Chains A and B, each alone.
Chain A
Amino acid sequence: MIEIVFLVPLATGALAFFLPRPSGRTLLTLTGAVHLLLSILLWVRQPEALFAEYFAVTPEGLLSLLVISLLFFLISIYTTGYLKTANIRSERVFTGSMLVFLSTMTMVTLSDHIMVMWIAIEATTLASAPLIYTHRSAATLEATLKYVLICSVGIALALLGSVLIALSMDVGGVNVPVAFSALAVVANRLDPLWLKAGFVFILVGYGTKMGLAPMHTWLPDAHSEAPSPASALLSGVLLNCAYLGIFKTNKIMHAAGLGHFSGTILIVFGLASILVAATFILKQTEYKRLLAYSSIENMGIIAFGTGVGGLAAYGAVLCLIHHSLIKSSLFLSSGNILLGYGSRLIDSTGALVRRMPRTFVAFFSGFAGISGFPPFGLFLGEVFILIGAFRGGHYVGAGVFIVSLCVIFAGFTNHVIKMSFSDAAAGDRVEEKPAMVWPQYALLLTSLVLCFWIPESLYETIVHAVNSIGGRL
């Protein structure tokens, strides 16, 4: 009965559209807590699905689900504080959409049927569109239209890819359910030509949603125009959901002996994304867009690691987890900065260390974490990817990877130092609510702890997930 994990937020989300403001906020946090509890139960018990043809518990799905659940719970605590401070006109739509969004993302992590996966991913686009549109300005309108249109077209290509994989079953004369788990078993009997075509379309389709260059154009707009808690969700977990679709298809490719083909394409898209991010981060003028481009960079790193395979694939999964934790904390901190300074421009901020000391601690440690500094887990992930790339003989790729990372670090540091220490916008200390600082600390602390100590069951799950794509450690 795993379906209950996504049915609960769906039900409470529908309810939230009709509830008055204060109870809506309580419902948000409460659902977050219940969802976290259910996800942990799912992790421990691993029950069977009621509709086993469509849904299943997989290691990679469980991993994403746990990340989503933890993040949503912490973000929901932040959101209650945020909603009290920020003036949002249609708060019911906001909380309702947040919950429905959680439900659709959970559905992505649990779906096993290729088409159900597609339905769930498209549903995440639709559920998150009202979130981006919350502020009702001309710029948010444009960002939402861009988001819905580009992602829908992209995801339509993924649907075509899914149909082509079904076709590869027809041509290969295979008769099993069109599910990822079933297909991985019979992968070598599928028609390779159609399988390859299907993979390319799925990669381009879900890659659009994941923010891989050159299909990333919607991402900086959507992530910067959305209210900060929504940005944290979009950047922290929605990108992972799209990645899950690619990961599972890649698994079939490896099982079919086409791992080299899919790996090469992933490496190319990954490096392109890192390069694009490096180019745009240097000249950024808005800090939320800066964070958005950093997400593109990290998705590129993850795609690169997955493409290289082996130890790098293990690193990619580590990066996936830690990017979610750190990036969502950064977006939440950027929400505080936006409320405090009233501007998204880097030049309008400054003296963060004196005006918002608590936010500064979260923001600066988040910056250190996202740049790949040791006490945070992203460091380990990136090191594993590099070692994997050198072991696999991808010297050029590794070179581009290192150079881009240095450029990104330089650009990022420049902006963050300016925001933190320059005297440009010196003024009085801004009040910081505990509910709007502690979630960031909790997220960063989780990343810190996971860098030094990974629970045995979590380690097993990660290894189990990457084993199927050549991730022998």
Chain B
Amino acid sequence: MIQPVDTILALVLLSVLISFGSSRLPALIKVVAFQGVVVSIVPFFIGHGLTVGGVVFTLATLLIRGIAIPVFIYLAIKKTAIHREVEPIVGYHASLMAGLVLMVAATFVSPKFNLPQSAGNALLLPTAITLLAAGMFLLMARRNAIAMVLGYIVMENGIYLVGTGFSVRTHHIVEFGILLDVLAGVMIMAVILQNINQAFDDVDTALLRSLKE
């Protein structure tokens, strides 16, 4: 039987593939925003018995991951880099292939972990692992600094999935602290990117090699 949560997680996996194939930054930001929305509504569908606090927290996550973070990044690049390419080190077709391999590998290794709660949601662990690896992949295989920041966000989404899916111990106040840290981090990165935009007219990190050793 297909559970609603599996449909949602399938959408997350789809967003990973689309993000690997996106060549333009605005498109990539939209995909990551979509992914943020979808990832943050997962707790509604894996019944840990939602409390009022849980609902409020989930909505806050949705607001921050799905709307606030993408908007900040979009505003940071708006002036100069609007149609810029993500400048891949690994080409798009190869990236898509790598994405598929990642998913297969994640699905293959997941059952071996033997987790108590993963029985009900067959896709949860594979999706989380895929997101983590996909974030890492974007960080390494794209030369553009904004694409790297987006890779970091994808990775964070993966960790969030691991956290919500498997451990129910932490309190919402703590989770909210984590969320605020992530938000503040992305905001600072956006501010720096904006300044880099003005200083270099380009956010290609290949140009930023003066400190390299």
Contact = CB atoms under 8 A, between A and B. Distances in A.
A binds B: yes
Interface of A: 54, 113, 115-116, 118-119, 122-123, 125-126, 129-130, 133, 136, 138-139, 141-146, 148-149, 152-153, 156, 159-160, 163-164, 166-167, 169-171, 178, 220-221, 225, 280
B152 A156 contact: yes
B211 A115 contact: no
Contacts of B181: 119, 122-123, 126
Given A148-B189, A153-B152, A160-B162, A119 B213 contact: no
A171 B169 contact: no
Interface in B165-213: 166-167, 169-170, 174-175, 177-178, 181, 184-185, 188-189, 192-193, 195-196, 199-200, 208, 210-211, 213
A115 B174 contact: yes
B174 A142 contact: no
B159 A170 contact: no
B177 A167 contact: no
Interface in B113-130: 115-117
Given A160-B132, A160-B159, A145 B196 contact: yes
Q: Which of B116, B188, B200, B210 counts the most A-chain CB atoms under 10 A from its CB?
A: B188
Nearest to B178: A119
| Interface of B: prevailing SS | helix
Given A141-B195, A166-B170, A126 B152 contact: no
Interface of B: 115-117, 132, 139, 145, 148-149, 152, 155-156, 159, 162-163, 166-167, 169-170, 174-175, 177-178, 181, 184-185, 188-189, 192-193, 195-196, 199-200, 208, 210-211, 213
Chain A binding surface SS class: helix
B189 A145 contact: yes
Contacts of B159: 156, 159-160, 163
15 contacts: A115-B170, A115-B177, A119-B177, A126-B188, A141-B196, A145-B145, A146-B211, A149-B145, A149-B189, A152-B185, A153-B152, A156-B152, A156-B156, A159-B163, A178-B169
Nearest to A146: B211
B181 to A, nearest CB: 4
A280 B148 CA distance: 27
A220 B196 contact: no
Contact of B167 (A123, A167, A221): A167
